[in-house]
Structure 1
Amino acid sequence: MDIKIHNRFDPDKLDEICAVYQSAGWLNHSNDVITKVFQRSDIVTFAVSESRIIGVGRALTDGVFNAAIYDVVVHLEYQQIGIGSLIMSDLLEQLKDVSCVQLISTTGKEEFYRKHGMKKLKTGMARYLNSSLTDEYLE
């Protein structure tokens, strides 16, 4: 399978991006939400096969001290074949000069991120508006 990586958000591909999120069970990502989060992201990565977006990732950064990776998601039909690793590698390459790169893993995906050099934070903290996310992710 020939996978290409693209680093520009194309609003004409919204339905494909939405299909990636929906296939992975991320049902709150409508076209409007996707447009907002990708337009406000500093770094974006799209995995493309045969002109179709099959995976996404994004990050926010100040370009020097801090960055946060969000939404590394691969379409259900293309999972477990290394596409998530391609996306993470591209994001981390784009962030290679940033002192601290953080992310919050979805439950059960922690080992995937460990393989990419990520480690648990001793002092990480968060706040969620959604109580079910509070219950899942916070102590």
Structure 2
Amino acid sequence: MKDVYESVGWTKHSVEIIQQVFEASNVIALAVYNGRIVGFGRALSDGVFNAAIYDVVVHHDFQGRGIGKAIVEDLLDQLQHISCVHLIATTGNEPFYQQAGFKKIKTAMGRYRSRDLAREYLEGGEAE
């Protein structure tokens, strides 16, 4: 999984962090090719009303083959009984999620400690 993250430039994910975030996630989708994990996605949900999808990542060498779409479809299938599913797309990937039925949210808000992430994702670009 670390190799998958690193292949797309996400280099801050240590093995320990990857283990921690996946153990805390209650919905997981994996894409495996010849016994190797080539993509994944995860979600957190209260099991009734809300869920949030995180880290839909496909190894750089396997992109463009529909794997990301299959991961999102699997996550949404597992969350089909949830009334509201959120996600934050990485910059430039919004059209990918729009194809899966996601739309911009009028009242969505967020806080980032990182100035770089705040500049990229927040209107006004100010970190907390």
TM-score norm. by structure 1 comes to: 0.88
Find the partner of 1:114 among 95, 98, 109. Answer: 98
- Which residue number corresponds to residue 115 of structure 2? 131
Q: Deviation above 2 Å: which 4+ runs of structure 1? A: none
- Which residue number corresponds to residue 63 of structure 2? 79
- State the Cα distance separating 1:48 from its structure 2 match: 0.2
- State the Cα distance separating 1:45 from its structure 2 match: 0.8
- Letter of the aligned partner of 1:64 in structure 2? V
Alignment of 1:68-107 (within 5 A): 68-107=52-91
Residue deviations 1:79-122 (CA, integer Å, cap 9, x gap): 01100001000000000000000000000000000000000000
The alignment of Structure 1 onto Structure 2 pairs a total of residues equal to 123
- Letter of the aligned partner of 1:117 in structure 2? G
For structure 2, the residue ranges without an aligned partner over 5 or more in a row are 124-128
- State the Cα distance separating 1:43 from its structure 2 match: 0.5
- Which residue number corresponds to residue 57 of structure 1? 41
Instruction: Give me the whole-angstrom Cα distance separating, in 2, the residues matched to 1:32 and 1:45.
Output: 19
* Sequence identity (%): 55
SS of match in other structure, 1:54: strand
For structure 1, the residue ranges without an aligned partner over 5 or more in a row are 1-16
TM-score norm. by structure 2 comes to: 0.95
- State the Cα distance separating 1:26 from its structure 2 match: 0.5
Instruction: Give me the whole-angstrom Cα distance separating, in 2, the residues matched to 1:22 and 1:44.
Output: 19
